[in-house]
Amino acid sequence: MTHYLLIQFVTWFVLCYFILLNGGYLVLNMLSLRTLHRKGQEEMLDDLPRAYSGLEPPVSILVPAYNEEATIAASVRSMLQLTYSEYEVLVVNDGSKDNTLDVLKREFGLLPFPEAYRRRIPTKDIRQIYRSTRFPNLRVIDKDNGGKADSLNAGINASRYPLVCGVDADSILQRDSLEKVTEPFLRDPTVVATGGTIRVANGCEVTGGFLTKVGLPRNVWALFQVVEYLRAFLFGRLGWSSVNGMLIISGAFGVFRKDTVIMAGGYRPDTIGEDMELIVRMHRLLREKRQPYKVEFVPDPVCWTEAPEDYKTLKNQRIRWQRGLAESLSANWGLMFSKNGGVPGWLAFPFMLLFEWLGPVVELGGYVFMIWAFLTGEISWQAFTTFMFVAIGLGILLSASGLLLEEMSFHIYPRGKQLLALAGVVLLENLGYRQLNTIWRLIGLWRWITQKESTWGTMKRKGDW
């Protein structure tokens, strides 16, 4: 009888978990719908020429670079062409072993500059600061290797402006990306951080560092990630943002109020997920101080990134992401159910913990248990098929809703064939790819438990931009 009850309990637990998980995301979806609808109404205003008043807060773009000799010149050149009233670009060469620094010196006419560098956040030693003789708003910091977070901290120390924008060296930015993501700072003085939608650049045409034609990747791994990114950004982040509960801003492109980042102690160099960890820490500290603040998400596609196209790189990326998530949450337990925790402490953090951090254990455990229980005759065929039907059906529903939000708002992929391909991916990714992801996330969790050291992630590049 106990055995029967145990099997029944686990079955219900797994079923309820899957329903709650997907139900939670559907609620986020509903929250995103309203924001995107409103955004769509203002679309025509975006097309009109923008008049700068000179009161837009100037921005320091921080570009950490490690062994980026192949792409750094094109990336920096595109960043120097953004449309914004006042900004500077600070490239931080994190002790690259290749010719990143030489390429920068040659392409931008760098000369050593006697900068009175101030060390507000501790970092590895600065070797030299250079200034471009061709672009007055470009500086390069050459420093000892210390990782991405350390590089961003060095950039913050050297930055001149009140807003800092962390950008990956291989990110492809929209020309108006800074305008879009700084908009919330103009509207509301309590905004401390904003992030924009990141899209998959594989299959797109890139010229002169800018995206000129949108396309879908031919590679199946990258194709799966297109739908994944739609889900993650268009309702994952936008939904949480609408209730000020967003715990992640992608390191590929995010803008922060510098004072707040410094108050929080800057990026943590000993973590992999330095982008998420900083946001969670900012939530925790600002909540503790009872300081009014907002972390906002801008749904516009402002940044494009190259997604991994091979199994090994993708697997490693996901393992790193899961480790980063685990590190970010474990370093900020104080936020959860804290007295003044609000939505981040009482809703977003527990949600992340239950469905993202613990998710792989329960999800994979659920699949394994159900298969085992069915094969050993512990549960009926009917219970097994119902479980698979609900788990996969809800997954497909979520992916489809991501696609709907895209179609409602930006319809980036103009051709009918592309839409059809994405619809196919919505179905297919739930029949193996998502489960595979769960396994990788579980490995990430294991690596976090065994605490292996963090380093720069390696990326196998296919893009020729």
Partner 1 sequence: MILPTGGILPAHALAVAFTAPSDPILAAAYWTGIGALGLTLLLGAQIVRLRMALRRRERREARALARWRPVLSAAIIGETPEELPRLSDSERPHFIKLWVHLQASLRGDASLALNAVARRLGVAIDARAMLARGPRTDRLLATLLLGHLRDRKSWDILRDMTNSPDVTLSLSALWALVRIDPPAAAAYLTPLFIERDDWAMSHVAGILKEASAPVAGVLADLLPALPPERLPRALRIAEALRIVLPDDLLSGALAAADIELVTAALRIVGTPGLLPQVRELLAHPDWQVRVLAAKALGRIGDRSDVDRLVALLADREWWVRYRAAQAIAELPWLGAAELDALQAALADRFAADILAQVIAENRSPGGTA
Which of 235, 259, 244, 137 is CA-nearest to residue 194?
Answer: 244
Contacts to partner 1 from residues 153-212, by CB under 8 A: 186-189
Which of 307, 249, 352, 287 is CA-nearest to residue 457?
Answer: 307
Contact region for partner 1 (CB under 8 A) — 59-67, 198-206, 213-221, 374-382? 374-382
Give yes or no for residue 118 binding partner 1 (CB under 8 A): yes
Contact region for partner 1 (CB under 8 A) — 35-43, 165-173, 203-211, 286-294? 35-43
Query: Residue 125 carries which DSSP code?
Result: P
CB closer to partner 1 out of 143 and 268: 143
Look at the chain and count its residues. Answer: 465
- Site size toward partner 1, by CB under 8 A: 64
How many angstroms separate the CA atoms of 268 and 329, rounded? 13
Partners of 256 in the β-ladder: 164, 193
Contact region for partner 1 (CB under 8 A) — 10-18, 269-277, 321-329, 339-347? 10-18
Buried b (16+ CB within 10 A) or exposed e, 278-314: bbbbbbbbbbeeeeebbbbbbbbbbbbbbbbbeeebb
- Judged by CB under 8 A, the residue of 2, 290, 381, 464 near partner 1 is 381
Instruction: Give me the amino acid identity at 359.
Output: G
Instruction: Tell the smallest beta-carbon distance from residue 187 to partner 1 (Å).
Output: 5
Q: Write the interaction track for partner 1 spanning residues 390-409; mark x where CB under 8 A is met and - where it is not.
A: x--xx-xx--xx-xx--xx-
CB closer to partner 1 out of 232 and 397: 397
Which of 229, 269, 271, 266 is CA-nearest to residue 250?
Answer: 229
Q: Is the dihedral of CA 54, 116, 67, 135 positive or negative?
A: positive
Partners of 289 in the β-ladder: none
How many angstroms separate the CA atoms of 256 and 337, rounded? 25
Give yes or no for residue 419 binding partner 1 (CB under 8 A): yes
Contact region for partner 1 (CB under 8 A) — 4-12, 241-249, 291-299, 311-319? 4-12
Instruction: Tell the smallest beta-carbon distance from residue 112 to partner 1 (Å).
Output: 10
Residue 203 host element (H or E): none
- Judged by CB under 8 A, the residue of 1, 44, 290, 451 near partner 1 is 44
Instruction: Tell the smallest beta-carbon distance from residue 138 to partner 1 (Å).
Output: 10
Work out whether strand 294-305 and strand 172-173 pair parallel, antiparallel, or are unpaired.
antiparallel
Give yes or no for residue 27 binding partner 1 (CB under 8 A): no
Interacting residues toward partner 1 by CB under 8 A:
4, 7-8, 11-12, 15, 19, 22, 38, 41-42, 44-45, 47-49, 51-56, 111, 113-116, 118, 131, 133-137, 186-189, 377-383, 385-387, 389-390, 393-394, 396-397, 400-401, 403-404, 407-408, 411, 416, 419, 423
